[in-house]
Structure 1
Amino acid sequence: MQLIDLQAQYQRIKPDVDARIQAVLDHGRYVMGPEVEALEARLAEYVGVQHCIALSSGTDALLVAMMALDIGPGDEVITTPFTFIATGEMIGLLGATPVFVDIDADTYNIDADLIEAAITDRTKAIVPVSLFGQIPDMDAINAIGERHGVPVIEDAAQSFGATYKGKRSGGLSSLSATSFFPAKPLGCYGDGGAAFTTDAALAERMRELRNHGQSAPYYHPRLGINGRLDTIQAAVLLAKMEVFDDEVARRAEVGARYNDLLGDLVKTPKLAAECTSVYAQYTIEVDDRDAVRAALNEAGIPNAVYYPVPLNRQPPLYSDVAIPISERAAERVLSLPMHPYLEIADQERVAEALRNALKK
């Protein structure tokens, strides 16, 4: 059993993946080849926005989105402390200050009710993270942003394919960023990411920023980065898009089955009203995590902890703010095997091993 089984997926789509990679090798346009443009069109249509900018990673997608808004020294960006470091890292790298707001105890997403109190005259953006595959309350967050004239950037690195009130993650705010790291619900075979927007001017700015700030050959009106997506990765993602809707449905089935198997044992993921999840991770809470992990390891059950240290307790981003729900979650969360090809028997084996672990 694997935590995430990428080989099972590859065997399903092997002929298409291999053919698309061979096509790239044949035409030789390894950087910004035709597959990149085709992927951008496919993803923009899927999300329901006008513009998709393919990028070299989800981290670079966040960076370019913030750079497009001219975020820099002296600015503040409101976000959650309970996420992967890339979210806060990009804020800090630009010289801005991350302002951390605690999470909702059930969804692990930023608590929208706490955001407004954190806004100051230096707030330049709000960056909610769609954690573990579920989208936060974007209507409430967007309304706060509109009242204060502050743009919202959805960090959709873990939620591509999920929906909120019938709309897909990535198309719920003026800007969004997602990741195609191999372990993501839609992942390539290396690093990759994308930014989405409905704003043509922001889209053009991000296209320039990903290519060294270039607007015409060797003319650079702004400083940018080397953030281009490799053509081979675009080819892989185009192949994966052919089965993605089916995989999203399978993820929902696996998540629901886990809920049925584990609901009487531990705290299981809760879906907010009118939300779906792609279960980038299936995350439970346990009391004595170290002991439970040791027992699961002994039983051969893969597991992981996302995330043991909140961002505001990380040395480069340290901020002594009150985040009791995030800190409690960081001490208790545990992620179990989760992917579209997880067999029922494997889930039952996980449930049995967890039941035994909790008895020890």
Structure 2
Amino acid sequence: MNAVFEKPSLWQRLRPWFKSFDLPLLSALAWIMALGLLCMYSAGYDHGTRFVDHARNMLLSVGIIFVVAQIPPQRIMQLAIPLYTVGIMLLVATAVFGVTKKGATRWLSIGVTQIQPSEIMKIATPLMLAWWFQKREGLLRLPDFLAAFGLLVVPVGLIAKQPDLGTAILVLSAGLYVIFFAGLSWKLIIPAFVIGAASITALVMSEDKICQPDVQWPVLREYQKNRVCTLLDPTKDPLGKGFHIIQGEIAIGSGGIPGKGFMKGTQTHLEFIPERTTDFIFAAFGEEFGLVGALALLGGFTALILRGLMIASEAPTLFSRLIAGAVTLSFFTYVFVNMGMVSGILPVVGVPLPFISYGGTAMVTLGFGLGLLMSIAKTRRIRY
């Protein structure tokens, strides 16, 4: 008797690659990406090839998510030390041989192109810290946390020296999230919050004195001091340093509750909003889609973050829990810092809005992070 075998269809062969993907996480991402494409078309249709490039970068990010999701977390953990080491070496090389643009040495020429090594550390640093705590699981003592802080300070210091305050904040926050989830005592966390709150209060109350031109701030550079002082009172230089913040607030406020409508933003299309397709794209979004649109966008980010935290809480290993928690809260940092600086509650720094702002490098990094989340989610499902 001859057995008859049917050749499997293309979908039957591809289905195992997709069936374990986390649908709630994918749904939240798809919603954010759809709003990002809508906003980019309006804000960048007359800005060269921004919309087409943005769509291409999204496809690249989706491809990275798919590839990384196929790699088990155990294999990813093996990349922690090599990736961190290479990242540090590239940062040192950037400090010595880097390309300087607009007063910042952030790029390294590798012949055919230029790369920004600090982007690597957004992933390499939390991976390294998660690996460190995984190896010390059950044996954690204060020296282990001090060593973790040392691993974090090195890349943050090198990035801040470039200077690149925005990326330094993102790397620092990602590392601190890993350390927090690893079990850092609240006895150390609460005093840090108290000191930070007291410092911000003192800064606000003494703005008139410390923001004088002849007053120099320790640690921070002159342009960083100007950004903080501009945040405290942007009306002192409305056509100069305060222009970004003032125009962003005007655009968001003029959108009202329903918004002015798709492609009807006057602040946006009359080019009053600076960097309307990158750092300040939320101002363009708020003007055209109003409070309703902003809440819809925030709903997508909230769903993504909550789902990521759920994946982290159910992850099978300490490494998976730490990296999933850090990646998820890094998205929160991106969103909070970007929307905060555009709406005038935080200083202006170069932090994009995930999958909304134009930028290929950031899209690759975000895609890698979401790929890690997908990989951990798949491992969790296989376990149960």
TM-score, with normalisation over the residues of structure 2? 0.29
Which structure is higher in RCO with an 8 Å CA cutoff and minimum separation 6?
2
